[in-house]
Amino acid sequence: MANLVRAKISALGTYVPPRLLTNADLEKMVETSNEWIIERTGIRQRHIVDKGMATSDLAIEAAKSALQERGIPGSKIEAIFLGTVTPDMLFPATACIVQDKIGAAGAWGYDISAACSGFVYALQTAVKFVESGAHKRVLAIGADVMSSIINYQDRATCIIFGDGAGAVVVEPATDGNYMIDFIHEIDGSGACSLYMPGGGSRNPSSHETVDKKMHYVHQDGQAVFKYAVRKMTETSETILKRNGFTGKDVALFVPHQANRRIIMSAAERLGLKEDRIVINIDEYGNTTAGTIPLAMQTARQQGRLKKGDLVLIASVGAGFTVGAALMRWAC
């Protein structure tokens, strides 16, 4: 039976901390150069938090901004799904802290650990609760403070990541502009290509785990790169095809911002020219679950996102986790 309720993004809010970490700053910290970073990743700077600021602080600002745009108080929100790999604490969920601070009394929710696909997974969850009729107003948030788990002596990882957050309000659609489809995959065979080995039940935090730097991100950059290009392309092609579209129909491709070369390789395979791709990695680096809402915001600020536009989003993250979504932009 056809699903009668469709869901849309009705508001978007984002937040990045004001402090900048530029390539020039990194040149003083590790053996690297501005030219190498720009050529190999496209990144010029990242925003990082001051000591004491946590993921919920960014998520709360992004959520408040989305609520303000929608013109509703936090008390109207029924559920909060928050994608992050850098929760304030292992538990309770950062979604709980956000719920309290935005005044969403009566709401429920949880964190979703899907790394760079965290926002897409949170969005899918929010959309399904709205489509099922269970809820009318839900927040989907992607937020990470990657600087809290980065080794700033490891040039292979410290140049890539930044901190940031984005939040959207999801509610029932009232016209033809709605979330059309999602695709998700996980592939645990790649678990050790990108991971933080310490601090969990496998290697609980100890002097030894800290001495071995297991509380930092470890990555096989080339394995991640190849997987990301292949999967971003495959899932994007599949979601377009099964909904009767081709790359030519896409008004805007909003990819996870991991590396400019990953984005351009995937876009080329999809037949998408640069004027239909959002890239803001130069400004923010890879903010993990924050990249896609931050990229949507950049597109809006550039006047490139209009109601009714066919928008394709795609992500690959640690896990591996894969996500893609297709929508008619609705706000």
Q: Is the CB of 61 or the CB of 144 nearer to ligand COA?
A: 144
Q: Shortest Cβ distance from residue 26 to ligand COA (Å)? A: 8
Residue 106 carries which side chain, given as an amino acid letter? G
The residue among 248, 247, 325, 263 whose CA lies nearest residue 293 is 325
Give, in order, the Cα–Cα distances in Å from 151 to each of 26, 82, 161, 256, 310: 12, 25, 11, 22, 39
Residues interacting with ligand COA, by CB under 6 A? 32, 36, 40-41, 116, 155-156, 159-160, 194, 219, 221-222, 224-225, 258-259, 286, 317
Residue 60's contacts (CB-CB under 8 Å, 6 or more residues apart) are 97, 98, 101, 102
Q: Shortest Cβ distance from residue 45 to ligand COA (Å)? A: 15
**Rounded CA gap, 210 and 294, in Å?**
32
**90 φ, ψ (degrees, to nearest 5):** -60, -40
Cite the active site residues: 116, 256, 286
Tally DSSP H helices, then E strands, for the chain: 11, 13
Q: Shortest Cβ distance from residue 31 to ligand COA (Å)? A: 7
Q: Shortest Cβ distance from residue 40 to ligand COA (Å)? A: 4
Q: Is the CB of 3 or the CB of 222 nearer to ligand COA?
A: 222
**Rounded CA gap, 53 and 254, in Å?**
28
Q: Is the CB of 152 or the CB of 245 nearer to ligand COA?
A: 152
Q: Shortest Cβ distance from residue 41 to ligand COA (Å)? A: 5
**Rounded CA gap, 158 and 291, in Å?**
17
C-alpha angle with apex 289: 313 to 321, nearest 5 degrees?
70
By Cβ distance, which residue is nearest to ligand COA? 221
Q: Is the CB of 36 or the CB of 110 nearer to ligand COA?
A: 36
Q: Is the CB of 116 or the CB of 314 nearer to ligand COA?
A: 116
